[in-house]
Amino acid sequence: MITVTFINRYYRPDHSATAQILTDLAEHLAAGMQVRIVTSRQSYSDSKLQLPPTETLSNVHIVRLWGSRFGRDRLAGRACDYLSFYVSCFFYLLFALRRGEVVVAKTDPPLISIIAELAAKARGATLINWLQDLFPEVAQAIGIRGIPPLVFRALTKWRDRALRMAFANVAIGERMATRLRVAECSPQKIHVIPNWVIQRDIRPLAPALNPLRNDWQLQSKFIIGYSGNLGRAHDYRTMFEAAVILEHKTEIAFVFIGDGAGMQELKLLVTARGLRNVYFKPYQPIDKLAFSLTLPDLHLATLEPALEGLIVPSKLYGILAAGRPTLFIGAVDGEIGELLRANNCGYAVAPGDSITLANHIQRLSLAPDELELLGNAAERAHRTQFRAEVAIAHWQQLIESAGRTNVLRGEASC
C-alpha cells in the first residue's frame, strides 16, 4: 500500500483555503492509501489555538509539530514561525520517512520544498511539489523588504533545484506552469491541477431562499460580495472607491466575509468615510459555505497584476459553483481575466479603475437577464472544467504513479 505524507502548515479544523483543499484530498486518498499530514499546531486566524500534537481523523494520521506562535500580524513574527516549522519539519521527516514513500509538499510555509527535498533524498522518498504560489518571487512582487539580492538569488536557486529534483511539480494555473518552465523545470514534470471548491453541495440558489439575507437584514439589497482572505496580494482600494461612488445607491450593499491585513485596513477606511453601504462578517463555518457563497448577486475577486503566474485566487472556484458572476480587479489580460471572457461569466477591470467597477455594478443591478446569463455560464464552467472529482482523480493518478516508480526503483536495486 502506498504511504503518502503531505506537508502544509494548516489542516483540519482550520478554515484556510489550503487547509480545506488538503483535507478534502487527504480524506479521499485515505480510502486506499496510508495518509499522513505533517502540519503545525496553529490556526490560520488564531496562532494561540491549542491543537493536539497527534490525532487521527477520517483515517488520516495528523502530526502537528512544535513551533513558535507569533502569528501573522507582523512579518518578523511570521518569519520566526516559518523558521521553527522548517526545523521541526526537517528533523521529523528524517525520523519518520521510509524508503519508497511519497512526500507532497505544499507551499506554506514558503520554500518548504527545499526542506522536503533534502529530507526525501536522505530517506529515499519521492517528492511532489504542490505549488499554491511561487516564492521568493511573491515576496519581491508585493514589496516585502529586507531580502538582499544575494539571498533572493540563493533562495531561487535552491527552490529551482527542489523543483528539478522532484518527481512532479503541480501548478494550479497555466501561467504558473509557464513560470516553472522558465525556471528550467522539465516539462514532463509539470502538471496543471486547478484547486477546487470542497463543498459538493454548493450550487446556485435563488436569493429568496438564502437564509443569510434574512439573518443579516439584507432582503431588499443587490449584494456585491467578497469572500475569504483579503491580504497583501489583493487590491481593496478599488473596491472601497467603488463603494464610495455608489454610496447614494441605497439598494446596493457591499458585504465582505473573511479576514486579512487588507480587510482590517478596509474597515478603517470605511469607518473614516462613514460608509453605510458596506458590511463586514467573519469567516463562516464550512456548513454555511453554500449560503455565504450564494448570498451575493455578484462577487468580487482580486489579484495584484505583479502576481500573475505566482498566485491563482482559489475563491473563484466556489464562485463558479455558486453560479454567480465575478468582477475581477487585476490584470485584464491575465489568467482570471481570460477565464472570465472565455466563459462569459464576468468582467475584469484594472486596479484603480473604480469608475468602471462601479459602472459594472450599477448596470448589472438593473439588468437581471444579463446577470442570470452570466451566472448560468459560471455554473456551466464549474461543471465542465473545474469539478473537484476531476482534480482529485488527477492527484490520485499522480501519487499512484510516484508510488509505482518507487517500487520499480526498489526492485532494480535488489
pLDDT digits (tens, 9 = 90+) for 45-103: 777 788 999 999 999 999 999 998 887 777 778 889 999 999 999 999 999 999 999 99
Q: Decide if 201 is inside a domain.
A: no
Q: Which three cell numbers stand for residue 2?
A: 502506498
User: What's the pLDDT score for residue 79?
Assistant: 84
Q: Are 379 and 391 part of one and the same domain? A: no
pTM higher than the cut 0.85: yes
Q: Decide if 49 is inside a domain.
A: yes
Given a cut of 90, whether residue 271 has pLDDT beyond it is yes
CA distance 4 to 301: 34
Q: Are 62 and 101 part of one and the same domain? A: yes
Q: Are 244 and 115 part of one and the same domain? A: no
- CB-based contact 337:356 (threshold 8 Å): no
Q: Is 112 exposed, middle or buried (0-12, 13-18, 19+ CB in 10 A)?
A: buried
Using 50, 70 and 90 to split pLDDT, how confident is the model at 36? very high
Q: Are 280 and 320 part of one and the same domain? A: yes
Please, which residues have CB within 8 angstroms of residue 59's CB and are 6 or more apart in sequence?
27, 30, 31, 35
Q: Is the dihedral of CA 62, 257, 378, 203 positive or negative?
A: positive
Mean pLDDT score across all residues of the chain = 93
Q: Decide if 10 is inside a domain.
A: yes
CATH label of the domain that carries residue 323: 3.40.50.2000
Q: Are 368 and 224 part of one and the same domain? A: yes
Q: Decide if 413 is inside a domain.
A: no
Q: In this predicted model, what pLDDT tens digit does every residue of 361-411 receive, in sequence order?
A: 999 999 999 999 999 999 999 999 999 999 999 999 999 999 987 655 544
CA proximity to 295, closest of 218, 403, 238 = 218
Q: Are 215 and 153 part of one and the same domain? A: no
Q: Are 152 and 221 part of one and the same domain? A: no
Which domain covers residue 270, as residue numbers?
207-385
Q: Are 287 and 326 part of one and the same domain? A: yes
| Strand-pair category, 60-65 with 326-329 | unpaired
Q: Return the amino acid letter for 159.
A: R
Q: Decide if 230 is inside a domain.
A: yes
Q: Are 174 and 293 part of one and the same domain? A: no
